[in-house]
Amino acid sequence: MAPPLLTLKDVWLTFGGTPLLEGAELTVAGGDRICLVGRNGSGKSTLLKIAAGIVTPDRGERFAHPGASIRYLSQEADFTGFATAQAYVEAGLGPTDDPYQALYLLNELGLTGEEDPMHLSGGEARRVALARVLASRPDVLLLDEPTNHLDLPAIEWLEETLNQSRGAVVLVSHDRRFLENLSKTTVWLDRGRSRQLQSGFAAFEDWRDKVLEEEETERHKLDRKIVREDQWMHGGVTGRRKRNVRRVRELKEMRKEVRERRFVQGNVRLESAEGGLSGRLVAELTNVSKSYGGGAPVVADLSLRIMRGDRLGLVGPNGAGKTTILKLLTGEIEPDSGSVRLGVNLELVSLDQRRDELDPDWTVQDALTGGRGDQVVINGKARHVASYMKDFLFIPEQRLTPLRVLSGGERARLMLARALAKPSNVLVLDEPTNDLDLETLDLLQELISDYPGTVLLVSHDRDFLDRVVTSVLAPAGNGRWIEYAGGYSDMLSQKNAQAIVPQEKRPPSSAERSPSSTERDSREATDAKTARKLSFKEKHLLDTLPDIIAKLESEVQNLSGKLADNGFFARDRAGFDAVTLRLAHAQSALDEAETQWLELEERRAWVEAKS
């Protein structure tokens, strides 16, 4: 076994009243691949800072091998005093380090080194910070959320680089796939103490559940023993003149243990406020193109249809156009060419990864209630803000806490709480997994799976995409985008299947191959049907359907508004049932009219193109 390069032993640290760390330990030897896991606020980042020598614990030992080089990646880099990205990276090199390594890594990460550090995007800042800690090829790398703000190509590059590194790596990350691919040892920080599993993260969750089950069994045994001893105290002792001092003392100690026992922090309860039912068609892009400043298009000739209940994941490098497509699908921006059609009765709620809408001077209560009292309305039911906060692991005492002092994970949970309190039938989530702990990610996944509406998701978390989306939209170069059925792994499988077929053996496309007689007859029949000119009745219907659709949309909105009245059901049960039935008929008629208009419009456009 390799000698330790870095050791933390019996580390204690208290912020405020409750100890954050109570005897935590960590041992790092050459070549180790350790993932440090635990809930937000459990002290993972603090333990890394103690390991890096940045924070001094209240008590405990830190030993670093005198000849070992240790580099620490914080969640936020400080670029103050550096004119260029290259200057910042070179400042982290030691006297014997290769000076060319700084520029090499920056170029590998898609940067020139001449960038102004004070004007970098979140992803660019993360790449510069990574280049600095990697450039010296340290013996121990301490990485705090290294994948935050990175796109998928950068994450995969980082995985490969760390796998090839000879140094030891200690990781804190919410990215399951990243942890599974890199870790060989897991350290679980739980209620101030560290527990170690001699396996990677893939085995952690089953082990953790088993540990908690055993702990619950022991807790139950202790509670029963206290009951027995209590009965002895109030029964058997009264019949004796001399008390059994030892048993009395043991009972006091057991009660003290129960009082001081730190229970596992409660789970997040995620519940979304449901909006009215949207139309069957949510959004449709037809031959849409979009570019900025006369440059190359970020979206070129994209046709995409989103139906109610779809879960679409958008992936690709930063700057590829994911946010642009989201804005096109939600009607926030207009295309340069092509058409965008939005469905009816859409209630959109967006979660912005930058969290710009959070004013640092707000309190948590202000952020959740909009500064209006202390009530939050979820699905028509008023709840006290302190009760709603508990669902997202905030304690009631944090109601008046300014947002500026919240951690990244707490701000992420607060944004979720704000978004899910609003009625919606379309969720637009831009990097929702940033800074969330693994348990909250699990519950967010369940929420999306059970959500009755439509979800548009931008994420670089491969595991999360595999768990929640029904299709993936990925860039294919030159502004072109391709939709793949399934999750991220399904997309890779489909791409690999296409790539491994040699060009000369690859089946010709439908436009290239010679069709069989059956295929030809079927195609000719379809073409003949499509090519048939619209009849007078069909032309009239195509002209009048938009007005019919508009009236049905108005009726659906009016009926939905009536049903939104919280007291309607209690006042008039029969009227409520009648409006509900009318809404179902109107929605069905609207869906049918939309489908009919789309079919006629497609035929009209096809005939005009052929004529």
Q: Give the tens place of pLDDT for each residue, 55-88.
A: 999 999 999 999 899 999 998 889 999 999 999 9
Higher pLDDT, 585 or 299: 299
520-610: same fold as 4-206?
no
Residue 518 pLDDT exceeds 50: no
Residue 302 pLDDT exceeds 60: yes
Strands 426-430 and 454-458: parallel
Residue 162 pLDDT exceeds 50: yes
pLDDT in tens, 478-510: 899 999 888 888 888 887 766 554 444 444 443
- Using CA of residue 508, residue 509, residue 512, residue 518, what is the dihedral sign? positive
Higher pLDDT, 603 or 477: 477
* Cα–Cα nearest to 179, from 171, 167, 187, 190: 171
Mean pLDDT of all residues in 408-415: 78
Residue 191 pLDDT exceeds 90: no
Higher pLDDT, 309 or 507: 309
Q: How many CB atoms lie within 10 A of CB 100?
A: 9
Confidence of residue 517 (pLDDT cuts 50, 70, 90): very low
Q: Which residues contact 577 (CB under 8 A, 6 or more apart)?
A: none
Residue 22 pLDDT exceeds 60: yes
pLDDT in tens, 527-583: 444 455 667 677 777 788 888 888 888 888 888 778 777 667 667 777 777 777 787
Q: How far is CA 152 from CA 121, 290, 317, 605, in A?
A: 16, 23, 6, 39
Residue 62 is predicted with a pLDDT of 95
Q: Point out the least confidently predicted range of 129-133, 291-295, 330-334.
A: 291-295
411-442 in b/e burial notation, b at 16+ Cβ within 10 A?
bbbbbbbbbbbebbbbbbbbbbbbbbbbbbbb
Q: What angle do CA 546, 551, 557 make, to 5 degrees?
A: 125
Residue 413 is predicted with a pLDDT of 80
Mean pLDDT of the chain: 81
CATH placement of domain 281-499 = 3.40.50.300
Residue 242 pLDDT exceeds 70: no
Give the Cα separation of 209 and 211 in Å (integer). 5
Through-space distance between the first and last CA atoms of the chain, rounded to whole angstroms: 79
Residue 609 is predicted with a pLDDT of 65
Residue 257 is predicted with a pLDDT of 54
Residue 393 pLDDT exceeds 70: yes
* Cα–Cα nearest to 304, from 333, 283, 289: 283
Written as six digits, the tokens of 282 are 């949510």
Phi, then psi, of 197 in degrees rounded to 5 = -120, 125
Written as six digits, the tokens of 88 are 């910042």
Q: How far is CA 142 from CA 23, 170, 306, in A?
A: 20, 5, 43
Domain parsing of the chain, residue ranges? 4-206, 207-260, 281-499, 520-610
Written as six digits, the tokens of 405 are 């002092």
Residue 525 pLDDT exceeds 70: no
Mean pLDDT of all residues in 208-230: 73
Query: What pTM does this model have?
Result: 0.67
Confidence of residue 430 (pLDDT cuts 50, 70, 90): confident
Written as six digits, the tokens of 62 are 């830190």
Higher pLDDT, 506 or 229: 229
Residue 519 pLDDT exceeds 50: no
Residue 202 pLDDT exceeds 50: yes
DSSP-derived letter for residue 117 is G
Percent of the chain clearing pLDDT 70 (strictly above): 80
Q: Which residues contact 351 (CB under 8 A, 6 or more apart)?
A: 415, 416, 419, 427, 428, 429, 430, 432
8 Å CB contact between 405 and 281: no
Residue 139 is predicted with a pLDDT of 95
3-class SS string, 395-446:
CHHHCCCEHHHCCHHHHHHHHHHHHHCCCECEEEEECCCCCCCHHHHHHHHH
Residue 521 is predicted with a pLDDT of 46
Mean pLDDT of all residues in 511-529: 44
8 Å CB contact between 306 and 469: no
- Which CATH superfamily does the domain covering 520-610 fall into? Valyl-tRNA synthetase, C-terminal domain (1.10.287.380)
Percent of the chain clearing pLDDT 90 (strictly above): 34
* Cα–Cα nearest to 473, from 610, 315, 241, 294: 315
> Does the structural domain 4-206 have CATH classification 3.40.50.300?
yes
8 Å CB contact between 281 and 114: no
Mean pLDDT of all residues in 331-347: 90
Residue 182 pLDDT exceeds 90: yes
Residue 198 is predicted with a pLDDT of 94
Give the Cα separation of 302 and 293 in Å (integer). 19
Give the Cα separation of 205 and 385 in Å (integer). 32
Give the Cα separation of 606 and 604 in Å (integer). 5
Written as six digits, the tokens of 67 are 């000849």
Give the Cα separation of 108 and 131 in Å (integer). 9
